[in-house]
Amino acid sequence: MSDIFCSLRKLSVTYRGGRNGTPALDGIDLDIVAGERLAIIGESGSGKSTLARSLAGLLPAGARVDGEMRWPGLGRPPRPGRDFGFVFQDPGSSLNPVLTIGEQIAEGPRRHLGLNWKQAYARAEDLLGRVRMPQPERALRAFPHQLSGGQRQRVAIAAAIAAKPALLIADEATSALDVVVQAQIIDLLDGLVREDGMTLVFITHDIALASGFVDRIAVFHNARLVETGPVRSVLSAPASDYTAALIASHRDLTTPPLITGVPA
């Protein structure tokens, strides 16, 4: 095993369209350290979500991928659904509207951990408790449309970690939520990652939101990685004008509020 969980070298992704296609990532060199919480920061179109989907093997058909992606922390290629969990921006679209919450969470443990349905449902109920869902047993029988946005995102997180992944990828997982619920979800992710020893890749356009709980920041701009480093170093001495502009757009990057105890 290696301290480097995933290593990217000269990774480029180009989508179809136009004469030469549209570059979404351009020559990315980045190491993701096992057990760290890494924030990928950048504006819309900077390439951060393409990076997340590249890691998870979720790029659309026709995307051209060049460069190298290695997984020394696993010692083998990752198994989709088992070695990483993915939390999308909009849980309303990522959850199946015709399946109960219990069915959707239990599917991962049943398929990847070898549990029978009874065991998988028991794990689903336990996970709903871990993500602080009110009345977990009742929530198992609910459908997504019966839950609030914050509750649906809690379900999505529970489903993402149901098969005990080593890597959790959260792609703008809080941007569709109000500020109070957003803070609760950040607090929840922070606790789950610490408890389970997962590696976290947190995708966001909001550098202030991420700076309070990640270890390291990687800043993307125009499909390129412009700088990376520990949070304190990047915030106190940004190496690029673009990062400096992101920091300047927020008044206080040192103590973003984490609000707990308010129902979501």
**48, part of any domain:** no
Query: What's the whole-model pTM score?
Result: 0.89
Extended beta strands in 114-197, E state: 167-171
Q: Which residues contact 8 (CB under 8 A, 6 or more apart)?
A: 28, 29, 30, 31, 32, 67, 68, 69
Report residue 222 as tokens. Answer: 């125009």
**23, part of any domain:** no
Cα–chain-centroid distance for residue 27? 22
Extended beta strands in 34-93, E state: 37-41, 64-70, 84-87
**54, part of any domain:** no
**154, part of any domain:** yes
Total of domains in the chain: 1
**125, part of any domain:** yes
Q: Which domain holds residue 123?
A: 92-164
**66, part of any domain:** no
Cα distances (Å, whole numbers) of residue 47 to 44, 69, 261? 8, 16, 35
DSSP one-letter code for 148: -
User: Per residue of the chain (264 residues), what is the pLDDT tens digit?
Assistant: 459 999 999 999 999 865 567 789 999 999 999 999 999 999 989 999 999 999 999 999 889 999 999 999 999 999 888 999 999 888 877 899 999 999 999 999 999 999 999 999 999 999 999 999 999 999 999 999 999 989 999 999 999 999 999 999 999 988 878 888 888 999 999 999 999 999 999 999 888 888 889 999 999 999 999 999 999 999 999 999 999 998 888 755 544 443 344 344
